């Protein structure tokens, strides 16, 4: 028999999901600023030389995946399957951290 989920646990999962959604765009913006402030990033922006080899599809996939996972965790019923919601939030944060790392690898 499964124990009933704690109301506090559902609240914590929701807070982490909201935090990830709020930080998604700033993560992308700060990572791109860091990349474009380097010599290589400046050359890529100005002349189209020495640009990152990370495919754009990977960046878009991580962005939209993090956004979708965050929204899914928010609309998921809080009283049911808290463990699954935790997994979705972990997926959200994993995609978001991977996105930042992929952008920064272009520096």
pTM, two decimal places? 0.84
Structural domain of 78 = 9-104
4 belongs to a structural domain: no
Q: Please tell me the least confidently modeled range out of 21-35, 69-83, 86-100.
A: 69-83
pLDDT at position 1 is 44
Q: How many domains does the chain have?
A: 1
Whether 19 has a pLDDT exceeding 50, the answer reads yes
- Measured between alpha carbons, how far is residue 27 from residues 5, 8, 20, 64 in Å? 32, 28, 10, 14
36 belongs to a structural domain: yes
Average pLDDT score over the chain: 88
In tens, the pLDDT along 55-64 reads 889 999 999 9
Ordered alpha helix ranges (H), 37-55: 39-47
């Amino acid at each position: 028999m499964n124990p009933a989920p704690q109301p506090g646990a559902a609240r914590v999962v929701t807070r982490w999901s909201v935090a990830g959604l709020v930080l998604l765009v700033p993560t992308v913006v700060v990572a791109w600023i860091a990349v474009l402030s380097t010599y290589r990033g400046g050359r890529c922006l100005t002349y189209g030389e020495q640009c990152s080899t990370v495919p754009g599809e990977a960046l878009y996939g991580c962005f939209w995946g993090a956004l979708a996972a965050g929204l899914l965790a928010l609309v998921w019923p809080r009283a049911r399957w808290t463990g699954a919601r935790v997994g979705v939030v972990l997926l959200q944060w994993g995609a978001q951290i991977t996105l930042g790392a992929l952008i920064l690898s272009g520096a």
